[in-house]
């Protein structure tokens, strides 16, 4: 609901965007924003844990050797946080794949425009005879989740071998 208040035509951000001729609510952009907002905490938490586990002495050594902060970030912090970034991205994607509430509030459920898999499943289950189509979409969603899981495991194994 907060997203709708912010991004709606009378909202703080939505009002400015509307004045510029940009509409967010009930577009696919809104569906992306809703999914990102609900999944973002999982991404941030994973990255934060990964960064907090970095030995502070490595960062200090980099800075002592004359590396700029941006160089330290690019050559020490990000490579050592890569597992957390990948894990957080997978969690965020998985969470976004099942997003229903925020999406239906801000993007609506417009077939072919803003309808996501969970919204389509809801539509099919709510209509007589739609159970088979709903089951098919559930299987597609589960398949996508498995693909992401396998891809994450593949990346994790590659990163482990590199270490």
CA 133 – CA 153 distance, rounded (Å): 30
Token pair recorded at residue 134: 């709903």
Judge contact between 102 and 38, C-beta under 8 A: yes
Q: Is the pLDDT of residue 72 over 80?
A: yes
Residue 128, helix vs strand vs coil: coil
pLDDT (0 to 100) of residue 66: 95
pLDDT (0 to 100) of residue 1: 84
pTM: 0.82
In angstroms, how far apart are the furthest CA atoms of the chain? 69
Task: Note the pLDDT tens digit of each residue in 135-153.
Answer: 999 999 999 999 988 998 8
Whats the size of the chain, residue-wise?
163
- Look up the domain containing 108 and give its range: 2-162
Q: Is the pLDDT of residue 161 over 80?
A: no
pLDDT (0 to 100) of residue 158: 85
H helix runs in 53-114, sequence order: 56-64, 69-72, 78-97, 101-106
CATH number at residue 41: 1.10.3720.10
**In terms of Cα–Cα distance, which of 14, 3, 20, 7 is closest to 102?**
3
Q: 78: exposed, middle or buried (C-beta count within 10 Å: 0-12, 13-18, 19+)? A: middle
CA 45 – CA 51 distance, rounded (Å): 10
Which is more confidently placed, 1 or 47? Answer: 47
pLDDT tier for residue 163 given thresholds of 50, 70 and 90: low
Token pair recorded at residue 98: 């099942």
pLDDT (0 to 100) of residue 162: 65
**The total number of structural domains that make up the chain:** 1
Summary mean pLDDT of the chain: 93
């Amino acid at each position: 609901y907060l997203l709708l208040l912010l991004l709606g035509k009378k909202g703080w951000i939505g009002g400015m965007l509307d004045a510029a001729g940009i509409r967010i609510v009930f577009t696919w952009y809104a569906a992306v924003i809703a999914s990102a907002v609900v999944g973002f905490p999982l991404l941030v938490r994973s990255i934060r844990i990964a960064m907090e586990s970095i030995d502070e002495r490595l960062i200090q050594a980099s800075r002592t050797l004359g590396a700029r902060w941006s160089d330290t970030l690019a050559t020490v912090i990000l490579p050592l946080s890569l597992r957390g970034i990948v894990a957080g991205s997978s969690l965020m994607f998985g969470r976004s794949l099942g997003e229903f509430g925020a999406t239906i509030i801000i993007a609506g459920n417009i077939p072919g425009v803003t309808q996501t898999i969970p919204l389509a499943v809801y539509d099919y289950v709510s209509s007589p005879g739609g159970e088979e189509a709903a089951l098919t979409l559930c299987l597609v969603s589960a398949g996508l989740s498995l693909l992401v899981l396998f891809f994450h495991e593949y990346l994790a194994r590659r990163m482990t071998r590199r270490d």
